[in-house]
Amino acid sequence: MQSMEFRAMSTSVLLAAEGHDWAIAGLNAARRFIEDCEQRFSRFLPESELSQLNRFSGTWVTVSDDLMDLLNQSLDFYEETGGLFDPSILTDLKRAGYDKSMDEIRAHGVSSLSASKRTSRPAFNEIGLDPVGQRVRLPHGMEIDLGGIAKGWIVEKAAALLNTYSAICAVSAGGDIFFVGDPSDGSRWRVEVEDPRRPDETVAVLHVGQGAVVTSSITKRVWNQNGQPRHHLIDPRIGEPAESNWLSVTVIAPQMTLAEVYAKVLLIGGAGEAERLCSQRPEIAFVAVNANGEMFCSQNSKEYFDALDYIRF
Amino acid sequence: MKLLKFGLRFWIALTSVFSFMVGWAMIAHSPKPVQPISASSSVLALPTLTPLQPLDFNSNTNGSQSSPLVVQSPSRFAQAPIFKTGGS
């Protein structure tokens, strides 16, 4: 199996594909696709398509098919999760200090203008989508951050591209992974779930087939703001970093965007919302870890553990 | 013999002219090719697709700020690499 690692979307990307020359060509093509997509959907690049959309709130803006697809999916997930998934929290995210890329925050800290008072903002479902005219209008005062859902979308599309070169392949962006096919040795893909308290250690090993594995964590993208620890997962109900009883949630799902959204909303909603959220999506399985290192798993997650691994619960 | 030669030449010339005329008539009376539908305001313009990537992945024809291709040689594993998930 061929593999390639590089850095994109402020995280480490790993591509893997079975085969020889064609697989290598596929790795290069997938890498170029990911780098191109980052240029379009990053909120940190002023010329990206997303930044331009945010700049022209209040007016109709013509967008690409891809951005329209992402916004349509986002709106559907917003309604489905009762607003727990909300891409329009960008002003709250900036207020919490996440107003530049995580690489810059790690190097230079947060900006001094952060921590202002929360102001009211329009609800995400007030966004105007015109699929026929391929146009979008953000209400005045709305800024959106596609963050995780865009990353998931890019990973799955890159995997589909890689799949045209190799029947068995995988794409991982910072541990958000999409697998195509099963490894040719007859096994399933092995995925180690990190301990959110100690990333060098593993709390579980999953054995999965084709599909997505995504983890949301509140221990990775963290910083200090006026001496207070902050993280990047905003609870839209309060406009502040979520105070969850879980540290990380790993979701196994057939599609990347579905896995991205549910990993995020399960982490924000915590144990109190898990049953309601999972009842509407029986196709997803999840593994959550709390501050004591205890694991909470959905019933259907058992099939992803080997018997030996499962004994540890 | 001369008469036979003359007759043969006459026959060849006649059939050639006749075949040519028949072919002309057939082409002249064949149905016209379908005209393309003219663009109108009620027809949506198809989106412009981005150019396909060239198959030569060893040369960077992109011209963007992305780093040169194959900056890193792919690694080979006998088995699938171990994937880790933990958020980013």
Model pLDDT, residue B64: 41
What are φ and ψ of residue A50, in 5° steps? -65, -40
Model pLDDT, residue A50: 92
Residues A220-227, mean pLDDT to the nearest whole number? 82
Rounded-to-integer distance, Cα A115 and Cα A188, Å: 46
> B66 to chain A: nearest residue by CA?
A35
Shortest Cα–Cα distance, A79 to chain B (Å):
25
CB contact under 8 A, A1 and B80: yes
Extract long-range pairs of A92-95: CB within 8 Å, 24+ residues apart.
A92/A118, A92/A234, A92/A236, A92/A239, A92/A240, A93/A145, A93/A232, A93/A234, A95/A239
Residues A65-78, mean pLDDT to the nearest whole number? 95
Count residue pairs from A and B with Cβ separation < 8 A: 125
Between A100 and B6, residue with greater pLDDT: B6
Helix (H, G, I), strand (E, B) or coil at A35: helix
Between A65 and B36, residue with greater pLDDT: A65
- Please identify among residues 66-125 of chain A the ones whose CB lies closer than 8 Å to any CB of chain B: none
Question: Among A262, A24, A233, which Cα is nearest to A152's?
Answer: A262
Q: Tell me the pLDDT tens digit for each residue of A290-310.
A: 999 899 999 899 889 875 555
Q: What percent of chain A has pLDDT over 70?
A: 96
Give the Å distances, CA to CA, from B85 to A8, A28, A205, A301: 16, 23, 10, 16
Residues A256-276, mean pLDDT to the nearest whole number? 93
> Nearest by CB to A189, which of B70, B78, B83?
B83
Q: pLDDT-derived band of residue B35, with 50, 70 and 90 as boundaries?
A: very low
Helix (H, G, I), strand (E, B) or coil at A235: strand
Q: Is-contact A42 A50, C-beta < 8 A?
A: yes
Using an 8 Å CB-CB cutoff, list chain B residues near A221.
Answer: 87-88
Model pLDDT, residue A95: 84
Model pLDDT, residue A130: 94
- Show the tokens assigned to A57: 């709130």
Domain boundary assignment for chain B:
1-27
Does B3 reach chain A within 8 Å, measured CB to CB?
Answer: no
Q: pLDDT-derived band of residue B78, with 50, 70 and 90 as boundaries?
A: low
Model pLDDT, residue A308: 52
Model pLDDT, residue A282: 93
Sign of CA dihedral A265, A193, A160, A302: negative
Rounded-to-integer distance, Cα A54 and Cα A47, Å: 11
Model pLDDT, residue A107: 81
Model pLDDT, residue A111: 73
Does B86 reach chain A within 8 Å, measured CB to CB?
Answer: yes
Does B84 reach chain A within 8 Å, measured CB to CB?
Answer: yes
Does A16 reach chain B within 8 Å, measured CB to CB?
Answer: yes
User: What does pLDDT average to over chain A?
Assistant: 89
Using an 8 Å CB-CB cutoff, list chain B residues near A177.
Answer: 83, 85
Model pLDDT, residue A309: 56
Shortest Cα–Cα distance, A246 to chain B (Å):
13
Q: Tell me the pLDDT tens digit for each residue of B38-49.
A: 444 344 444 455
Query: How many CA atoms does the CB half-sphere of A308 hold within 13 Å?
Result: 2
CB contact under 8 A, B85 and A11: no
| Number of Cβ atoms within 10 Å of the Cβ of A214 | 32
Rounded-to-integer distance, Cα A138 and Cα A125, Å: 10
CB contact under 8 A, B86 and A190: no
CB contact under 8 A, B57 and A65: no
Rounded-to-integer distance, Cα A43 and Cα A45, Å: 6
pLDDT of residue B33 exceeding 80, the answer is no
- Least confident span in A11-20, A224-233, A242-251, B60-69: B60-69
Q: Which residue has the tokens 């109190």?
A: A272
pLDDT of residue B58 exceeding 60, the answer is no
Q: Which residues contact A149 (CB under 8 A, 6 or more apart)?
A: A70, A73, A74, A77, A85, A87, A257, A260, A261
Residues A18-40, mean pLDDT to the nearest whole number? 93
Per the DSSP assignment, residues forming a β-bridge with A250 are A215, A287
Shortest Cα–Cα distance, B32 to chain A (Å):
35
- Least confident span in A75-79, A130-134, B64-68: B64-68
Does A201 reach chain B within 8 Å, measured CB to CB?
Answer: no
pLDDT of residue A240 exceeding 60, the answer is yes
Does B81 reach chain A within 8 Å, measured CB to CB?
Answer: yes
Between A117 and A76, residue with greater pLDDT: A76
Q: Tell me the pLDDT tens digit for each residue of A140-155.
A: 989 999 989 999 999 9
